Structure formats: C-alpha cells, structure tokens
Amino acid sequence: MVAVAKRDLKAGEHLDGIGGFCTYGLIDNAAAARAASALSIGLSESRVLRRDVSKDNVISVEDVEALPGGLAEALWREQSARWPLLTQPSRTQAAREGAKTVLA
C-alpha cells in the first residue's frame, strides 16, 4: 500500500502514519509502486518531508528523510534490490515471440 497525501503537505512536516491526518493508503501493483519509488504507508510514520507534496499525490521515498537506524526501511530496500520485479510479456508479445520461434 502506497502513502498518498490527504491534504497539501509542506516540506518539514512530520508524517503521522497509518490513521493519521497527513496520509492515506492506496493499493497499487508492485511494478507501478516501485517505478514511482512510492513510500509504503507502513514506512510513513515519523517521516519528515523534504519537499512539498500536493493533495492526492503519491509520496515517494525521495520525498522524505530517512529514519536513522530504520530497520524496516533497510529491509524494504534490501528486498527491492535482491528481488527486482520481472515484467511478464503481454499476450501479444508472447504470441509474437512464439511465432518467431516456430518460423526460425
């Protein structure tokens, strides 16, 4: 679940996490969330914004200061690095690849 601004947020504000007044969570697929460097709602509590974020915009990992000694964030980063998302070809691409193999 990605963190989204409930209202216009200003640089220097502290995010209050799940159930707070600053963010809400939206479900997104993993590929889209990683492509946007979206901040997980579970990692949003006590973060300080580096820059302004407009209402209803996804908050990225780059938009917030890292927490010193943040184990959850370190594990999230390690997971992302160790297991990059593999995109599957569309059915059209798969059919084309299959046709190339048959013709070869």
Evaluate if residue 75 carries a pLDDT over 70.
yes
81 φ/ψ angles, rounded to the nearest 5 degrees: -75, -40
Q: What pairs with residue 4 in β-bridges?
A: 24, 58
Q: What pairs with residue 24 in β-bridges?
A: 4
Evaluate if residue 100 carries a pLDDT over 80.
no
pLDDT digits (tens, 9 = 90+) for 42-63: 899 999 999 999 999 999 999 9
Domain count, the chain: 1
Alpha helices in the chain (DSSP H): 30-35, 71-82, 91-103
Structural domain boundaries enclosing 58: 2-103
Q: Are 53 and 6 in contact (CB under 8 A)?
A: no
How many Å separate Cα 78 from the centre of its chain? 14
What's the predicted TM-score (pTM) here? 0.74
Q: What is the mean pLDDT of the chain?
A: 84
